Structure 1
Amino acid sequence: MSGKDEKINIFPSRMALTLMKTRLKGAQKGHSLLKKKSDALTMRFRAILGKIIETKVQMGEVMKEAAFSLAETKFAAGDINQTVLQSVAKAQIKVRTRKDNVAGVNLPVFEHFVEGGDSYELTGIAKGGQQIAKLKKNYLTAVKLLVDLASLQTSFVTLDEVIKVTNRRVNAIEHVIIPKIERTLAYITSELDEREREEFFRLKKIQEKKKQAKDKKEKKKQELLSQGAFAEDISEKTILDDEVDQDVLFT
């Protein structure tokens, strides 16, 4: 069976016609809702894509400034790597997650926050304090941008997968399910119409046969009357008008 002729295997009846109409209405409603969901997700997807591009451009500028600050700090204060590592007791910038609901899709969002004080605030007292402060500020901005970029890219990938699934469902309903139901409705309607035509033709034939029998009876009656027969002689006999049967004697 070709795809154009494919339909649901169902017995054509009035109940089946009502059922298919209900299913068609539900499929059209589902298609409309999924289409709206896809449009909403696509709008958010494009907005996130724009933010990702903007954040990456900004990230490049910040990392460049941070790299220059590191070079200036090493020139002014020497190698401070060991000093910083010894001063840091635990991470100050931490990340927490929350969920953002977009058209029924939960997107993970990462947020940065600072916990505790500056554990290496005394670093650079001897020399290079200004450069170290600038270095800390630039790398703090870079870390915050990295967290934002990670959040945007995670949401981007999640939305991309959901949009693909939603669009597949929309296309399946639009190009497979709805046409299949419509073909089934057309088939049921044509079968019911054919039955009505057959029933009409049968009733018409019955009426025609009755009319022919009546006309034949009237014609025969007129012929008998023309021959001089009485009306009661040509009336139809019933079982009560039959002659009395003679008794049968057994000897």
Structure 2
Amino acid sequence: MGDIMKTSSFALTEAKYVAGDNIKHVLLENVREASLRVRLRQENVAGVKLPKFEYTSDADANKNDLTGLARGGQQVQHCRAAYIKAIEVLVELASLQTSFLTLDEVIKTTNRRVNAQENVVKPRLENTISYIKGELDELEREDFFGLKKIQGYKKREIEKQMLLKKVESNLTLHKAVSYNSSNLLAVGDKDEDIIF
């Protein structure tokens, strides 16, 4: 870059020396519009739109070949060629610089988003998850305690029913024994005497 700019400046100095001080007026009279144009287009790199500068030259670029033919025309054309090379490099440099600045802004924005995710959103989600886990554990303990209570209640009911059945069977047995004993002691039949 530095060498190209140095060469183009030295070529301008040579052209001024050969053609004289009025080279500026001669060139301005012969040139009506720019022969090189810079246009902007965008490139998409990983979802980021980067500006890209391109230069284009007109087909009428050679119409000024005879500029300064009387005094230093060859040096003027050499100066023009040197400045065209300088413009090519400057356009490329401008394209790279704007791409770097755009990427730098995108990286900063992405870093801010990542920091926000890590320092704000993630802790909130972790707190919410721990709260939900705590509530689910509490509900599980309540269900377990309720099941234990129900099992205890069922066990007591079964024990009561077993005790009732025992009592009923004892009462039935006692009634059967008392009924049979009353039949045995009834006045009607006499048993034989048993000798021991």
Return the offset for 1:180. Answer: 2.5
How far apart are the structure 2 equivalents of 1:217 and 1:97?
A: 94
User: Percent identity of the aligned residues?
Assistant: 49
Give the alignment's Cα RMSD to 1 decimal.
2.6
Per-residue Cα deviation, 1:58-92 (whole angstroms, up to 9, x for no partner): 1x222211221122222222121110111101110
> What amino acid does structure 2 have at the position aligned with 1:61?
D
Question: Whose Rg is larger?
Answer: 2
How far apart are the structure 2 equivalents of 1:180 and 1:193?
A: 20
Aligned to 2:27: 84
1:105 to 48, 63, 71: 48
Aligned to 1:93: 36
How far apart are the structure 2 equivalents of 1:232 and 1:178?
A: 76
Distance 1:223 1:181, change over 3 A: same
The size of the alignment, in residue pairs, is 173
Aligned to 1:73: 15
2:141 to 194, 197, 202: 197
Aligned to 1:230: 172
How far apart are the structure 1 equivalents of 2:44 and 2:168?
A: 96
The within-5 A match list for 1:1-251 is: 58=1, 60-79=2-21, 80-115=23-58, 116-216=60-160, 218-219=162-163, 222=166, 229-230=171-172
Distance 1:232 1:77, change over 3 A: farther
How far apart are the structure 2 equivalents of 1:112 and 1:184?
A: 56
Note if contact 1:73-1:131 (Cα within 8 Å) is conserved in structure 2. yes
How far apart are the structure 1 equivalents of 2:87 and 2:120?
A: 49
How far apart are the structure 2 equivalents of 1:190 and 1:184?
A: 10
How far apart are the structure 2 equivalents of 1:76 and 1:210?
A: 118
Distance 1:208 1:232, change over 3 A: farther
Per-residue Cα deviation, 1:77-115 (whole angstroms, up to 9, x for no partner): 212111011110111001122211111222121110111
Which 10-residue stretch deviates more, 160-169 or 174-183? Answer: 174-183
Return the offset for 1:173. Answer: 2.6
Structure 1, unmatched stretches of 5+, are 1-57, 234-251
Which 10-residue stretch deviates more, 82-91 or 145-154? Answer: 145-154
Note if contact 1:107-1:158 (Cα within 8 Å) is conserved in structure 2. yes
Note if contact 1:99-1:109 (Cα within 8 Å) is conserved in structure 2. yes
Structure 2, unmatched stretches of 5+, are 176-196
How far apart are the structure 1 equivalents of 2:174 and 2:53?
A: 108
Aligned to 1:17: none
Distance 1:65 1:220, change over 3 A: same
